Structure 1
Amino acid sequence: MPSPPIQGPRASGGASTTAPILETRGLSKDFRGFTAVDDVNLQIQEGHIHALIGPNGAGKTTVFNLLTRFLPATRGEILYRGKSITRMRSHEIARLGLVRSFQISAVFGQMTVLENVLVALQRPLGTSFHFWKPKSSLDSLNERALQLLEQVGLREDAHRVTAGLPYGRKRALELATTLALEPTVMLLDEPTQGMGAEDVDRVVELIRVAAQGRTVLMVEHNLSVVSRLCDRISVLARGRVLAEGDYASVSANAEVREAYLGSEVSESATAQHEEV
């Protein structure tokens, strides 16, 4: 049985009176006449773990690509701390503290686990690709890198070549490299995709730890993960926001169930709502 949604100071359950840290207004994306994202309005509260869920093709990853400017918006506005970032470049947005992961683990397979984190730690220093510098120049970053690996349970793998890691540990390493960039807002795209139950449980705990003092927006298909982690959920269907609220209210919504009808996710949502 999945754990119930987090209760406590972060998950108030009611509407927040504070300004959102990240917001979209009328966000839309057209592809040659097809509207993939249609008038999406999101408000992500600071300190929350906010999930973006929906059937395949609902537009979730496209929203992520718009938020991080991997794609330009056709219409609408994106605000970070009340200021428009709609026309900023991807690297400028990352420097503000909005850092994303991807559906497929994005690590350097032929480097060691420690070297992957060291590369990420160099980015804010502007020395990311200065591989010609002596290895001793990275010594000052080693302590921080090892701390990050300890945080995600990979310290014992520090000198292991990344390609040989099991999939779940590669995703944990990706989380460490994301944390190395000192994000204010972490955007996690399918962080548990392709994992067995044991790895899923481990990554859930890692996300919970990593979210302390940060805001997380995540795309996730596993509704057990969503129910255990998230303060608020936005449901997309056909590029539009269909429903929004906490897990209990969203999973009980008739339109949400209809959108998932006939899929594994629908059955999972029904079962989990009954358990919660």
Structure 2
Amino acid sequence: MSDQYVLETRNLVKEFKGFVAVDDVNLKIQKGHIHALIGPNGAGKTTVFNLLTKFLIPTRGKILFKGDDITSMKSAAIARKGVVRSFQISAVFPHMTALENIRVALQGFEGSSFSFWKSGSSLNKLNGRCMELLDSVGLAEYANTTTVELAYGRKRALELATTLAMEPELLLLDEPTQGMGAEDVDRVVELVRKAAQGRTVLMVEHNLSVVSKLCDRITVLAQGAVLTEGDYETVSADPRVREVYMGTASSGERGSTSEESETEAAR
């Protein structure tokens, strides 16, 4: 495998009781790129993410990270290697402050995640880095705000900051703009662009405007298989893509992509 690829899948397959959710998928994610997985409901996008981060075990095929076979590794081990994932639904602690959420992430990254019995003052050494991360996503002024009080877009920004706390080399973003209004979408686009500096991003995203603004390369999935791949101009001009994805979007269904629908289809 060329050194230019951070992540590669080889003939990746996932079957559920005879249903093929991921069908012989070969991905090559180039270092430093923002790479998108797009496709209609049930295309297998989130299932691929779950395979890459070992929330699901592949039926067949291999997953390589920087040339190393990580197919048999567990989720925590993959995260420690630098593959870190966000989720469709915001995964932050609602009754902690924004700073405390970042501090928990830093504890995990630094190997002190089981030190919750320690006094808060003993963890203050992490506060400087916490503030840097909060500032990087525009949340410095909300450091002491309880997360449940944050607007949805800011919660997603906080989640991004917690993933960055683990210093990922490959950042996997699952529907980062889902459920957001236009103002929040624009903010998240800029945050993702900033987060991508010095690292590689693989994202599932239903909003084609976001994909066109952010992504260097796009892989289109349909019925669990790769339909086509290329830059936005190439992919958007492909009549097969218009038929299976963009046609659906123009019919008013573009925003309906969800992890739940793919999970249901996989079952």
Normalised to the residue count of structure 2, the TM-score between the two structures is 0.92
What residue identity is the alignment partner of 1:192?
Answer: T
- Tell me, yes or no, if structure 1 residue 184 matches structure 2 residue 187: no
SS in 2 for 1:260: helix
CA distance in 2, matches of 1:128, 1:57: 36
* Paired residues of 1:50 and 1:232 also in contact (CA < 8 A): yes
Q: Residue type matched to 2:110 in 1? A: L
Alignment of 1:218-233 (within 5 A): 218-233=203-218
Task: Select the residue among 209, 212, 230 that pairs with 1:245.
Answer: 230
State the Cα deviation string for residues 42-75 of structure 1 (Å, max 9, x = none). Answer: 0000100000000011000000000000000000
CA distance in 2, matches of 1:70, 1:265: 33
Q: Secondary structure at the match of 2:93?
A: coil
1:111 aligns with 2:103: no
Offset of residue 129 of structure 1:
3.4
Structure 2 match to 1:149: 134
- Matching of residue 25 in structure 1 with residue 36 in structure 2: no
Paired position in structure 2 for 1:46: 31
What letter corresponds to residue 83 of structure 1 in structure 2?
D
1:260 corresponds to: 245
Counterpart in the other structure of 1:6 = none
Residue 216 (structure 1) aligned with residue 201 (structure 2): yes
> Over residues 81-132 of structure 1, what are the superposed CA-to-partner deviations in whole Å (9 max), with x where a residue is unaligned?
1110000000000000000000000000000000000000011222213211
Q: Output the CA distance in 2 between the equivalents of 1:200 and 1:152.
A: 13
2:71 matched to 1:83?
Answer: no
The structural deviation recorded for 1:176 is: 0.3
Mean alpha-carbon deviation: is it higher for 18-27 or for 50-59?
18-27
The partner residue of 2:155 within 170, 190, 195 is: 170
Distance 2:114 2:206 in 1: 35
Secondary structure in 2 aligned to 1:73? coil
Aligned equivalents of 1:51 and 1:109: distance in 2? 29
**Which contiguous aligned blocks of 4+ residues in structure 1 show a shift greater than 2 angstroms?**
264-269
Q: How far apart, CA to CA, are the structure 2 residues paired with 1:77 and 1:86?
A: 6
Out of 31, 39, 56, the position equivalent to 1:71 is 56
Q: In structure 1, what is the Cα distance between the partners aligned to 2:109 and 2:162?
A: 12
Q: Is the 8 A contact 1:152 1:172 kept in 2?
A: yes
CA contact (8 A) 1:223 1:265 kept: no
Distance 1:56 1:62 in 2: 12
| Offset at residue 258 of structure 1 (A) | 1.1
Q: 1:262 to 1:208 in 2, by over 3 A?
A: closer
1:206 to 191, 197, 217: 191
Whether the 8 Å contact between 1:186 and 1:217 is mirrored in structure 2 is: yes
Q: Structure 1: where are the runs of 5+ without partners?
A: 1-16, 270-276
Task: Report the CA distance shift for 1:197/1:239 in structure 2 as closer, same or farther (over 3 A).
Answer: same
Asked whether the equivalents of residues 13 and 20 of structure 2 are also in contact (C-alpha less than 8 Å), the reply is yes
Q: Specify which of 99, 110, 116 is matched with residue 131 of structure 1.
A: 116
- Cα deviation digits, residues 181-220 of structure 1 (max 9, x gap): 1000000000000000000000000000010000000000
Give the aligned partner of residue 62 of structure 1.
Answer: 47
Name the amino acid aligned to 1:223: L
CA pair 100-137 structure 1, distance change in 2 beyond 3 A:
same
Note if contact 1:55-1:260 (Cα within 8 Å) is conserved in structure 2. Answer: yes
User: 1:99 aligned to 78, 84, 89, which one?
Assistant: 84
**Counterpart code for 1:225:** V
Separation (CA, whole Å) in 1 of partners of 2:174 and 2:253: 20
